[in-house]
Amino acid sequence: MKTAKQYEDSLRKLNLKVYVQGELVKNPVDHPIIRPSLNSVKMTYSLAEDPQYQELMTATSSLTGKKINRFCHLHQSTDDLIKKVKMQRLLGQKTAACFQRCVGMDAINAVNSVTFEMDQKLGTDYHKKFTAFLLQMQEEDWTVDGAMTDPKGDRNLAPSKQADPDLFCHIVERRKDGIVVRGAKAHQTGAINSHMILVMPTIAMGKDDADYALAFACPADAEGIFYIYGRQSCDTRKMEGGTLDVGNPQFGGHEALMVFDNVFIPWEYVFMAGEVDFSGLLVERFAGYHRQSYGGCKVGVGDVLIGAAALAADYNGANKASHVKDKLIEMMHLNETLYACGIACSAEGSKTAAGNYLIDLLLANVCKQNVTRFPYEIARLAEDIAGGLMVTMPSEKDLRHPEIGKVVEKYFAGISVVPTEDRLRVLRLIENLTLGTAAVGYRTESMHGAGSPQAQRIMIARQGNLEHKKQLAKSIAGLK
Question: What's the rounded Cα separation, in Å, for the pair 258 and 107?
Answer: 17
294 is catalytic: yes
**Directed axis angle between helix 322-347 and helix 78-95, to 10°?**
150
d(CA 147, CA 187): 9
Helix axes 279-316, 374-386, angle to 10 degrees: 20
Helix%, strand%, coil% for the chain, nearest 5 = 55, 15, 30
* In 43-143, beta strands by DSSP E: 58-60, 67-69
CA distance linking residue 129 with residue 391, whole number of Å: 52
CA neighbor of 247 nearest in space, from 190, 203, 312, 322: 312
Single-letter amino acid code for the residue at 439: A
Distance CA 296, CA 198 (A): 22
The one catalytic residue in 31, 75, 127, 290 is 290
Residue of 8, 72, 75, 102 marked catalytic? 102
The active-site residue, picked from 72, 169, 218, 297, is: 297
Q: Is the dihedral of CA 373, 92, 200, 219 positive or negative?
A: positive
140 included as an active-site residue: no
Residue 207 vs residues 151, 158, 163, 286, 306: alpha-carbon distances, Å: 21, 11, 18, 22, 49
Please state, as a whole number, how many other Cβ atoms lie within 10 Å of the Cβ of residue 158: 14
Asked whether the beta carbons of 288 and 359 are under 8 A apart, the reply is yes
Main-chain dihedrals φ then ψ at residue 61, nearest 5 degrees: -60, 135
437 catalytic? Reply is no
Q: Tell me if 193 sits within 8 A of 7, measured CB to CB.
A: no
27, 34, 77, 83, 473 from 42: Cα distances, Å: 17, 13, 27, 19, 53
- Cα of first residue to Cα of last residue in the chain, in angstroms, is 62
290 catalytic per annotation: yes
| Active-site residue, from 72, 98, 218, 367 | 98
Is residue 297 annotated as part of the catalytic site, yes or no?
yes
Q: Is 330 a catalytic residue?
A: no
Q: Which of 294, 315, 357, 442 is the catalytic position?
A: 294
Catalytic residue (choose from 170, 202, 229, 255):
255
Contact 202, 150 (CB under 8 A): yes
d(CA 97, CA 437): 9
Contact predicate 218/196, CB 8 Å: yes
Compute and round to an integer the Cα radius of gyration of the chain.
23
Indicate the DSSP class of residue 163: S
List the catalytic residues. 98, 102, 189, 255, 290, 294, 297, 445
